[in-house]
Structure 1
Amino acid sequence: MLILDSEPAITIAIAHADFVGGSARELSFRQGDEIILYRQLSEHWWEGQLSSDPTGTRGLIPALYVSNKAVLMQQHLEKQQQQHQNLVFFIAFESYGIY
């Protein structure tokens, strides 16, 4: 019988650098990997697993190597909106001959 782990994920993170675990407890991953973070163990470590790992192997994840995916997406969206606003502002000035 398959029992699914019903523990909710705290967050989804993206690895922004490769990490090679220094012990069997530390999870190795590559830049760009999506990681499920279950709980923060300390300021420096999370417990998590690779979202692509079909076995669901959990390990320690160094906090400095990952960023919250939702935060990254929000920052990207805000940057795009600012670029759009700058373009609209520039076009408006061009249209009225204001330099």
Structure 2
Amino acid sequence: MTAATYLTLLRTILVPVFAVPAVFYGISVKSGDPNESLHWLAVGIFFVAAMTDYADGVIARRYNQRTPLGAFLDPFADKLLILTAIMILFLLPWGENWKIPA
């Protein structure tokens, strides 16, 4: 496996690591006592995961590390991260005043 593929696997592993503090933050918001440390932890983990997407693309192109496995895993990891974030936003009860524009 290449370095780019390892970064893609890291991004996949970071998805549940991001989801746990994000869900608990949503629960704390609903209870009326938002835990901002969970908020920033989730944001930081999401940012690191997003940067691995950039880094694996640069590494794969610059060092010619494109592989069929990477071509499959990279879009899978991208969609898993984004869909997890969207599901957390839509499924958690964030409170009465929190609305997503339609």
More strand by percentage: 1
Normalised TM-score (structure 2): 0.29
Structure with greater helix percent: 2
The structure whose RCO (Cα within 8 Å, separation 6+) is larger is 2
The structure number with the bigger radius of gyration is 1
* TM-score in terms of structure 1 length: 0.30
